[in-house]
Amino acid sequence: MIESTANAQHRFSILIVDDEPANIDILSGILSPYYDVKVAPSGVVALKIVEKHTPDLILLDIMMPGINGFDVCKKLKSDKNLSQIPVIFVTALVQGEDEEKGFELGAVDYITKPVSPAITLARVNTQIKLAHQMRSTENLVQSRTSELEKSQQSAISMLAAAGHYNDTDTGHHIWRMAAYSKCLALAHGWSYERATLLAQAAPMHDTGKIGIPDNILKAPRRLDDIELDIMRSHASIGYQILSQSDTPLFQLAAEVALCHHEKWDGTGYPNGLSGNDIPESARIVALADVFDALTMKRPYKKAWSVKEAFDYIEMNSGKHFDPNLVQCFLSVKKDILATKAYWLTFEDKNIVPTIHNFLPRSCHVKDNEYD
C-alpha cells in the first residue's frame, strides 16, 4: 500500500514537527523507508522550513514551547500558498475540545501518542493520497479552464476579424477602441473584472458587418437611403449572431453590437434609444469607437489630431455621447494617450494581436502632449 503511493518515481515529503527528539526519532523511523522526511524541533523552525520547501504533509505536535501546534496550523492555513498542505496532529491530548479545535483550524486527522507504526503509516498514506488526488484534480481543472479561455479568446478574435474582414484599412482599430473602452470603464467606476469583460466584448461590436453586401460595405461614395438602411442593419445582425450564446461575455457583446450606434439624444439606430435607456456598455464603446475612428487615417479622410478628436467628443456631449462619460473621458486624457501610444507600437512592428485585456503598465504623458 505504501509503495504504491511513494513509488520509485516520486517520494512524497513529510515534515515532522516536535520538540521531543525521542518522538522525532520514532516517527522518522516509521516513515523514512517510504517518504522523504524533514524534521523541525519547534513551530518557528517549521514555519521557516515550509517557506523554502513545501512538504506534502505535516505531522504536527500540539504541546510545544513558544508557538504551539494550534498556532502553527493557524498560520499555515492563513497562507494561500501553504493552506493546502494536509496537517495531522500528533499528540497525547485526548480531550474532545482539543480535537474539535484542531479540525476547526484545518487539520485533517489526529494520531495519539504513543504512536502505532501501522496506524501512523495508514493515516499518513490516506491523507497523502487524498491530497495528491486533489492537486491532480485542481491541475486538470486549471488546464481545462485555460483551454476554454484560449478557445474563448480565439472566438473573440475570429468574430472581431469577421466583422472587419472586408475593411483592410482599420489596422488595430478594434483592439485600440477595446483598450479605450476598458480605460473609460475603469475611470467611470467599473470593477476591473467587468471592465476587462467589456474589453473582450468591444472588438465584436461590428460582427454584424459580415452580413452586409460588399457593394454597400465597400461603396466609394455616399450611400442612398435604401443602402443606408441595409448598412445600419449590421447592428441587429451582430446582435442576432452574438446573442446565441448565453455566456456573460457574449451577452455583453450582443448588447454592445446592438446599441453602439444609439445616441444620447435619441437620433441613433437601430431603435432610437436615448439617455440612460442605452446600455452603459454601449455608451462607453460608442465613445471609444468614435475617438479612435477620428484619429485614424482612412482613404476618404486624414487622421484628426488628438486635440481635434477630444474637442469633437466634448462638442457632442449630450448629443451623441453621455455627458457624464464625456467628462470622465476628458479627465483621463493622459491614460487614453498612453494607451494610444502603447497600441501604436503593435502597428509599427506589424504585430497582429489576438486579444489583449490590459492597458499600459504606466502612463507618462505630459499634460499638454495632446495639443
Give 50-66 pLDDT, tens digit per residue: 989 999 999 999 989 88
Cα dihedral 219, 225, 230, 232, rounded to 10, equals: 100
Q: C-alpha angle 343/346/348, rounded to 5°?
A: 110
Residues 6 or more apart in contact with residue 225 via CB below 8 angstroms: none
Residue 113: per-residue pLDDT: 87
Q: Which residue has the higher pLDDT, 150 or 27?
A: 27
Kindly state whether residue 218 falls inside one of the protein's structural domains.
yes
Kindly state whether residue 147 falls inside one of the protein's structural domains.
no
Residue 67 pLDDT > 80: yes
Same domain, yes or no, for 248 and 171? yes
Same domain, yes or no, for 115 and 188? no
pLDDT bucket at 306, cuts 50 / 70 / 90: very high
Give the single-character DSSP code of 317: B
Q: Is residue 357 classed exposed, middle or buried when 0-12, 13-18 and 19+ CB atoms within 10 A define those classes?
A: middle
pLDDT bucket at 258, cuts 50 / 70 / 90: very high
Strand-by-strand arrangement of the 87-91 sheet? 36-40, 13-17, 57-61, 87-91, 109-112
Residue 132: per-residue pLDDT: 83
Kindly state whether residue 153 falls inside one of the protein's structural domains.
no
Question: Mean pLDDT lowest for which of 153-162, 170-179, 185-194, 267-276?
Answer: 153-162
Kindly state whether residue 209 falls inside one of the protein's structural domains.
yes
Kindly state whether residue 285 falls inside one of the protein's structural domains.
yes
Kindly state whether residue 156 falls inside one of the protein's structural domains.
no
Query: Residue 216 belongs to what domain range?
Result: 164-348
- Contacts by residues 319-323 (CB-CB < 8 Å, ≥ 24 positions apart): 319/263, 319/264, 319/265, 319/267, 320/263, 320/264, 320/265, 320/268, 320/286, 320/290, 321/263, 321/264, 321/283, 321/286, 321/287, 321/290, 322/264, 322/278, 322/280, 322/283, 322/287, 323/264
Same domain, yes or no, for 201 and 234? yes
Contact predicate 59/14, CB 8 Å: yes
Q: Is 213 left (phi over 0), alpha (psi -120 to 50) or beta?
A: beta
Residue 151: per-residue pLDDT: 61
Same domain, yes or no, for 188 and 224? yes
Same domain, yes or no, for 93 and 18? yes
**Euclidean distance between CA atoms 61 and 213, whole angstroms:** 76
Same domain, yes or no, for 134 and 173? no
Same domain, yes or no, for 13 and 91? yes
Residue 80: per-residue pLDDT: 85
Kindly state whether residue 56 falls inside one of the protein's structural domains.
yes
Q: Which residue has the higher pLDDT, 73 or 145?
A: 73
Give the chain's mean pLDDT. 84
Kindly state whether residue 262 falls inside one of the protein's structural domains.
yes
pLDDT bucket at 368, cuts 50 / 70 / 90: very low
Residue 356: per-residue pLDDT: 47
pLDDT bucket at 235, cuts 50 / 70 / 90: very high
Sign of the Cα pseudo-torsion (185, 271, 205, 143, in order): positive
Give the single-character DSSP code of 57: E
**Which of 103, 122, 139 is the endpoint of a domain?**
139
Residue 255 pLDDT > 80: yes
**Euclidean distance between CA atoms 124 and 12, whole angstroms:** 11
Same domain, yes or no, for 112 and 184? no
Reported as a single tens digit per residue, the pLDDT across 194-231 is 998 999 899 899 888 888 888 887 777 788 889 999 99
Same domain, yes or no, for 131 and 17? yes
Q: Which three cell numbers stand for residue 223?
A: 450611400
What's the helix, strand, coil split of the chain in %, to 5? 55, 10, 35
Same domain, yes or no, for 122 and 177? no
Residue 157: per-residue pLDDT: 66
Residue 362 pLDDT > 80: no
Give the single-character DSSP code of 275: G
Question: What's the mean pLDDT in 85-113?
Answer: 83
**Euclidean distance between CA atoms 119 and 27, whole angstroms:** 12
Residue 348: per-residue pLDDT: 62
CATH code: domain of residue 47: 3.40.50.2300
Q: Which three cell numbers stand for residue 346?
A: 503593435
pLDDT bucket at 71, cuts 50 / 70 / 90: very high
Reported as a single tens digit per residue, the pLDDT across 313-361 is 999 999 999 999 999 999 999 999 988 888 777 766 666 554 444 454 4
Q: Which three cell numbers stand for residue 338?
A: 498612453
**Euclidean distance between CA atoms 159 and 237, whole angstroms:** 13
Residue 245: per-residue pLDDT: 87
Residue 371: per-residue pLDDT: 37
Residue 36 pLDDT > 90: yes
pLDDT bucket at 299, cuts 50 / 70 / 90: low
Contact predicate 184/284, CB 8 Å: yes
Residue 145: per-residue pLDDT: 60
Same domain, yes or no, for 317 and 213? yes
CATH code: domain of residue 211: 1.10.3210.10
Residue 198: per-residue pLDDT: 94
Specify the number of domains making up the chain: 2
Residue 363: per-residue pLDDT: 39
Residue 22: per-residue pLDDT: 93
Same domain, yes or no, for 296 and 254? yes
Beta strand pairing call for 36-40 and 57-61 = unpaired
Model's pTM, two decimal places? 0.60
